[in-house]
């Protein structure tokens, strides 16, 4: 059985999630090492996105425990989990489409802001300074993902590849220690997928831990330190990309005979 180690920034132990009579996640135990890029793969309906939803508080586990940096997450709401340093993106891009690109990132940055409603009404000059700081920091994250030239554009008008980059920039704006990327390469062409891989490597260089759900096996094999394979909510493979690629159970369940 997998044992929890000190280097595990994230630990899921005997996690089970049942919807009615359907078992979506079944006695899953996994650990994610700090500073790593870990990919979660498996066929459609395997339970991968459900695992992300459990980690980030969008769902509560039926049983088991989820621990992040020594703290149990089971009973925490999504905004509280985000404030602890866990950010995520979604399989279907979720932006504020009528807001500008810059404003979308500023929304994420406000989680780290000291200014609230009462603060801004009592001390307008201080609030304006805080807003200016948030705006500049949001611009810095747009530069990080290569979107500074689109700062004033309406987010909903961006092509899909740029929207995915923007969603990542907004997630990075909360300064997470752990970022969960749900199919970041879905719908991207080969050039955009290469750029996504390069961005994930840049994120790792910022000393962040990355976990991604992904179907693009070339991307997974190129960027992952470790690959976890889930099928019917259970872990059937765990190892280096090379080891997982050659695992007969993984081949049968996901990669094809």
The tens digit of pLDDT for each residue in 159-214 reads 999 999 999 999 999 999 999 999 999 999 999 999 999 999 999 999 999 999 99
8 A C-beta contact, residue 167 and residue 93:
yes
How high is the pLDDT of residue 122? 53
What's residue 55's pLDDT?
Answer: 97
Angle at 255 between CA 186 and CA 195, to 5 degrees: 30
- Phi then psi for 213, rounded to 5 degrees? -95, 130
DSSP string for 93-129: ----TTSBHHHHHHHHHGGG-S--HHHHHH-HHHHHH
Same domain? For 135 and 12 the reply is: no
SS3 content of the chain, % helix, strand, coil (to 5): 40, 25, 35
Domain edge (last residue) among 175, 204, 236: 175
Rg (CA), the chain: 19
- 124, burial (CB in 10 Å: exposed 0-12, middle 13-18, buried 19+): exposed
Give the per-residue SS3 of 36-73. Answer: CEEEEECCCCCCHHHHHHHHCCCCCCCEEEEEECCEEC
CATH number at residue 238: 3.40.50.300
- Residues 126-139, mean pLDDT to the nearest whole number: 83
**66 shares its domain with 181:** yes
pTM of the model: 0.88
Q: Are residues 109 and 44 in the same domain?
A: no
Q: What is the pLDDT of residue 134?
A: 87
pLDDT at 21: 85
List the single range of 74-88, 101-115, 184-198, 232-246 with lowest mean pLDDT: 101-115
Percentage above 90 pLDDT, the chain: 73
Q: Are residues 183 and 152 in the same domain?
A: no
Residue 71's domain comprises: 1-85+177-257
pLDDT of residue 112: 59
What's the mean pLDDT in 112-139?
A: 68
Report the residue count for the chain: 257
Residue 218's H or E segment, with its range, is helix 217-223
The verdict on 194 and 71 lying in the same domain is yes
Distance CA 180, CA 82 (A): 11
The domain tally of the chain equals: 2
Handedness of CA 167, 169, 109, 75 (dihedral sign): positive
């Amino acid at each position: 059985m997998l044992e929890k180690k000190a280097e595990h920034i994230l630990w899921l132990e005997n996690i089970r999630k049942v919807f009615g009579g359907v078992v979506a996640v079944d006695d899953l135990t996994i650990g994610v090492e700090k500073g790593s890029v870990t990919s979660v793969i498996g066929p459609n309906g395997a339970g991968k996105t459900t695992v992300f939803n459990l980690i980030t508080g969008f769902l509560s586990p039926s049983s088991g425990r989820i621990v992040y940096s020594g703290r149990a997450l089971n009973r925490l709401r999504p905004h509280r989990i985000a404030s602890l340093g866990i950010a995520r993106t979604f399989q279907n891009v979720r932006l504020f489409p009528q807001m500008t690109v810059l404003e979308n990132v500023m929304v994420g940055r406000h989680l780290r802001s000291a200014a609230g409603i009462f603060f801004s009404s009592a001390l307008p000059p201080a609030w304006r300074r805080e807003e200016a700081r948030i705006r500049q920091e949001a611009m810095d994250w747009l530069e990080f993902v290569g979107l500074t030239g689109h700062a004033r554009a309406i987010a909903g008008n961006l092509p899909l590849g740029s929207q995915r980059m923007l969603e990542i920039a907004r997630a990075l704006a909360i300064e997470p220690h752990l970022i969960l990327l749900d199919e970041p390469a879905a719908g991207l062409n080969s050039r955009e997928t290469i750029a996504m891989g390069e961005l994930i490597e840049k994120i790792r260089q910022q000393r962040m831990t990355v976990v991604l759900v992904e179907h693009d096996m070339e991307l997974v094999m190129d960027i992952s330190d470790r690959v976890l394979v889930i099928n019917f909510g259970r872990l059937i493979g765990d190892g280096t990309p090379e080891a997982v690629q050659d695992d007969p159970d993984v081949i049968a369940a996901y990669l094809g005979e």
